[in-house]
Amino acid sequence: MDVKEAVYKRRSVRSFTQQEVPQEVLAELVDAARVGPAAANRQPLEYVAVTDPQLREEIFACLKWAAYIAPRGNPQPGHHPTAYLVVLRRKDYELEGMSLYDVGAAVQTILLMAVAKGLGACWLKSVNYPRVAKLLGVPEGVEVDSVIALGYPDEEPRLVNLEPDQEGLEVIKYWRDEQGQHYVPKRALAAVLHRERYGNRG
Ligand SMILES: Cc1cc2nc3c(=O)[nH]c(=O)nc-3n(C[C@H](O)[C@H](O)[C@H](O)COP(=O)(O)O)c2cc1C
């Protein structure tokens, strides 16, 4: 799969088959993030790869899913993630808050690698951080930043164009239809791309 295909195929997945994800596959995802861009090349990010069935259910209890459609967007029993990558930031390697940008680059790398490996993933920041830190034994000076839920997908959320509602307001909220199909609206290219000067759209 080339990068373009992975980019457009990637959606946040919140329903998974119960096929296990090998630790080696998680290591491949982290290895890709490891070689990504890092502000001043400080490389403050570390990761905990979780596959243990009991531990992952304890992590699951620390997460909130798809706030716009809660609780419909929650992974249902029997469809929970089968793995997690928990992204950590080492404060001693921090440079003036720049590690937040590193996280963005690293997580997107992991999400795209996940697609290439046939996995589905969801980046979560609605997280009970103190609880996750405790569960994983994360020491002082290391912060839990994000949780990436992973597993083999059993849903295919669909990308659609963002359309204005009856009042002409943009509807950025994702939604599910009666069959449970998840739709994700994105702004049109012409709405976000300015050619040469701001305001030259399309
Ligand atoms: C920084 C960040 C935090 C997010 N936190 C959550 C979260 O806590 N729970 C969740 O279900 N999804 C979370 N998401 C996923 C977004 O809801 C999702 O990216 C958005 O709906 C667009 O869908 P897409 O990823 O399929 O393009 C987060 C995404 C980002 C970038």
- Cα separation, 191 vs 184, whole angstroms: 16
pLDDT tens-digit readout, 14-72:
999 999 999 999 999 999 999 999 999 999 999 999 999 999 999 999 999 999 999 99
Can you give the pLDDT at residue 163? 81
Instruction: Indicate whether 104 pLDDT > 90.
Output: yes
Return the pLDDT at 167.
77
Q: 183: Cβ below 6 Å to ligand 1?
A: no
Burial code (b: 16+ CB inside 10 Å, e: under 16) for 92-105 equals ebbeeeebeebbee
Domains and CATH numbers, the chain: 3-151 (3.40.109.10), 158-192 (2.20.180)
Nearest C-alpha to atom 27 of ligand 1 is from which residue? 11
What's the mean pLDDT in 151-157? Answer: 97
C-alpha 13 – ligand 1 centre gap (Å): 9
- Cβ(64) to ligand 1 under 6 A? yes
**Pocket of ligand 1 contains residue 187 by CB under 6 Å:** no
User: Which residue's alpha carbon is nearest to atom 4 within ligand 1?
Assistant: 124
Q: Measured at the alpha carbon of residue 153, what is the angle toward residues 149 and 154, in degrees to the nearest 5?
A: 130
Which residue, by CA, sits nearest to atom 16 of ligand 1? 12
List the end-to-end C-alpha distance of the chain, in Å, as a whole number: 29
Q: Could you give the 3-state DSSP secondary structure of residue 39?
A: helix
Which of 199, 200, 180, 175 lies closest to 15 in space, CA to CA?
180
Burial of residue 62, with CB atoms counted within 10 A of its CB: 0-12 exposed, 13-18 middle, 19 or more buried: buried
Enumerate the H helices of the chain as residue ranges. Answer: 3-9, 23-34, 53-60, 99-116, 129-136, 189-192
How far is 161 from 187, CA to CA, in rounded Å? Answer: 6
State mean pLDDT over 97-120: 98
**In the β-sheet with 83-90, what is the strand arrangement from edge to edge?**
45-50, 83-90, 142-151, 120-124
pTM attached to this predicted model? 0.97
Q: Is the CB of 49 under 6 A from ligand 1?
A: no
CB of 122 within 6 A of ligand 1: the answer is yes
Distance, CA 197 to ligand 1 centroid (Å)?
A: 31
Ligand 1 atom nearest the C-alpha of 126 is 8
Ligand 1: atom nearest CA of 13 is 26
49 alpha carbon – ligand 1 mean position (Å): 20
Of residues 77, 62, 78, 68, the one with CA closest to residue 12: 68
Distance of CA 157 to the CA centre of its chain: 14
How do residues 160-190 score in pLDDT, each as one tens digit?
A: 988 877 777 778 999 999 999 999 999 989 8
Q: Is 107 in the pocket of ligand 1 (CB under 6 A)?
A: no
